[in-house]
Amino acid sequence: MKLINLLIFAILVTRNVVHCLNLPSPKVTVTLESIFQEGLLVQPRENLYILGTVHIGSKSAQEAELLIETVKPANVVVEIPPSRLKRLQKKASQMRIKEAERKVSSYAGINATPTGKAGSFKGADLLSAIGLFPALASEGYAKGGLSGMLFCTIIVWGSLLKHSTTIGEEADSLPRRNEFEAAVMASENVGAAVIPADFEFEDLIQTVATSMTPLSWANFGFTLFCESIGLREPDPIRRGKQESMVDWELRRRNVETARASRAHGEISNPELSEVLVNVRDRAFARICMDLLDNDKDKLGGPTVCVVGLVHLDGIVDSCGQQSPMTEKTQ
């Protein structure tokens, strides 16, 4: 299981490595006011800030850093499991050591800048994704039977495979910085406690397995088939055939796109949507509210929550107050 988690983690962060070896992120002017205006940042309680992010490009990473550096929270809730937090913290420590070594080398007149091409990573990453299939299928079946295996191979592996085919293009046009990694590093810089709020992978497999019946999977497969031949509209968050990476990021950063994607999931597969979205929304919100209650007694600082944009409305609603964007659209 640990090997599978490490391989998945390696695939998801390879784009960040590619970015480090190539072009710097494009300069993006980010302000808290602009994030609020876009509806990506909501403050449902006096001491609670919830930031919705997209898993593409570098803007979300910059926004997470700005929010944490400005607010200087006592706690930062992040949409990652505890095991991933440990890996990110280890990576952050290694990066700080390398940065110190780089500065020493520069003072000594040694060129320590790595070189490489983004395209060289694409084939290796694709092969890594393909090689994960047997391990994911085996782990899924071991943790959740047939339902767990279907989840791991159709949804998890399918997502990894798609990501692996766009690494070169993304590195060239829209360098990726992981917003959760940025949030963890920014939290350490301001002395905030990081709370990993998501399920571990094996727990998620078991939760999905108990929620999805054979009929649910049959309906899901039929829906995918109908979408592939044009009989049904696909998930609005999917990339269009002629859509550039930059345009796709811009569309995914629209709150209405996230809401449309959420509504699509609730219709196409309500059981899976309940587990992957609603249950996690409530878990994230409960952690945030518990932290607020604890910090209120201790006169602590604010709490920041960094999650995928599709979770934003659900967490805000669970915290007892609708977001401004929701109120405007009703």
Q: How do residues 241-262 score in pLDDT, each as one tens digit?
A: 899 999 999 999 999 999 999 9
Residue 117 to residue 258: CA distance in whole angstroms:
33
- Cβ atoms within 10 Å, residue 4: 18
Residue 304 to residue 288: CA distance in whole angstroms:
8
**What DSSP letter does each residue of 208-249 carry, written as one string?**
HHHH--HHHHHHHHHHHHHHHTTSS---TTSPPTT--HHHHH
Half-sphere exposure of 188 (CA within 13 A, CB side): 14
Identity of the residue numbered 157: W
Token pair in block for residue 317:
């609603």
Residue 47 to residue 291: CA distance in whole angstroms:
10
- Cβ atoms within 10 Å, residue 1: 14
Dihedral sign for Cα 118, 170, 31, 74, please: negative
What count of residues does the chain have? 330
- This prediction's pTM: 0.81
Q: Is residue 283 within 8 Å of residue 29, measured between CB atoms? A: no
Residue 214 to residue 147: CA distance in whole angstroms:
8
* Positions in the chain short of pLDDT 70: 1-29, 99-124, 295-299, 321-330
Find where tokens 């890996």 sit. Answer: 87
Query: What's the order of all strands across the beta sheet hosting 48-53?
Result: 41-45, 48-53, 303-308, 75-78, 193-196
φ, ψ (nearest 5 deg) of residue 203: -70, -40
Residue 323 to residue 315: CA distance in whole angstroms:
10
Q: Are strands 193-196 and 75-78 parallel, antiparallel or unpaired?
A: parallel
Q: How do residues 260-297 score in pLDDT, each as one tens digit?
A: 999 999 999 999 999 999 999 999 999 999 999 886 66
Find where tokens 């791991």 sit. Answer: 152
Listed in sequence order, the residues at least 6 apart from 187 whose beta carbon sits closer than 8 Å to its beta carbon are 68, 73, 76, 193, 194
Token pair in block for residue 132:
């994960």
CA dihedral 171, 169, 152, 308 (to 10 degrees): 60
Cα angle for residues 248, 249, 251 (degrees, 5° grid): 65
Q: Is residue 303 within 8 Å of residue 48, measured between CB atoms? A: yes
**Distances from the Cα of 212 to the Cαs of 14, 209, 268, 269, in angstroms?**
32, 6, 13, 9
